[in-house]
Structure 1
Amino acid sequence: MAVNWIQAALVIIDVQKAIDADYWHKQGARNNPEAEQVIARLLEYWRSRHWPIVHVRHSSHSPESAYHARSPGFAFKLKVQTGVKELVVTKRENSGFVNTSLHAELKQLRCDKLVICGVTTNHSVDATVRHARALGYAVRLVTDGCAAFPLALPSGDMVSAQQVHDIFCANLACEYAELVTSDQLMA
């Protein structure tokens, strides 16, 4: 049976100023520097239809982290600021569902379909997509609304940011999410 994606919740993961911290860039630049612009377009699209929007933000346990609540990096990036009546969920673990109100809030909204985007593809986006699917949600992952950084393998070899992104997207496509671009989604 085909899924009707009307009124799916847009879930934006960890698009905070902290993603620009030096820590993330130590291995090199991320892929898809346009991700925030894509997410801003998705926000505009969702807002014009009055569909549910959830902003998930990370709050690190470590006071030294750019994602710590007392750090300037904790704030959402300007292009993806929250709007009136948009849900904000703060997480302290990798998945947006672990020890948060996200699942309960989505159930209260009667949302069983999620469109997910954010950073980074191989961290919180991956964990949240997998968890959402395990909870029974239908999930679409907006591939051009996500980004990853290069990754050093145990051997010392480097995997490019684009390869990291592509590998994690391909893995999620196996059984966890339908992969879409923002243009496909808004067509």
Structure 2
Amino acid sequence: MTRSHKAPPKSRRVQCDKTKSRCQRCERAHRPCKGYAAASSQPQEVPFNRAITAYSIPFKVPGSQADRQLLHFYCGQAAESLASFSDPTLWTRIILQRCHIQPVIRNALVTLSALYQEYYHNIPPEGADAGTSTASQRQSSLRSLQLIARSHRQLRIHLSSPQASYEVVLLCGVLFYAFESLIG
């Protein structure tokens, strides 16, 4: 018996060299590489992340949680904005360094941050009547005035102590001027 057709030649086995992404030996032999799984066209499912449930300040500062949040707001937004009008070193370094040492400066900075946050979030749209105010705006203004009064009171107490320094008075003066500028 003769065969009417020839059997295909047996292909030589090529051992996979397991080079990452593609096997070089299989590629040179123009053969499909069986060493790696085919890349999936489906995007891999990303696990769902939960929302942040707790707020953590990245630095340790004495005071209430609200005070720490206001200082964080100052570091993240207000300092940079205030630094655009004058020497950035004052707002981003000197005042921050001194507020870690002097509670009077820290409380004045908390007050400035609260005023700046109020200013930042409550800018009235153009053409709005400045005479109209809501109950929440009046409440916010009252809170701001209480913070300013607290800052003034703490500076007076500091001035009557034997540890009073000119540097604290000067920095508080700059912060108080910023209060007045934000209030208008």
- Bin for the TM-score computed over the shorter chain: under 0.3
TM-score of the superposition, structure 1-length normalised? 0.26
**Bigger relative CO (Cα 8 Å, ≥ 6 apart):** 1
- Structure with greater proportional strand content: 1
- Structure with greater proportional helix content: 2
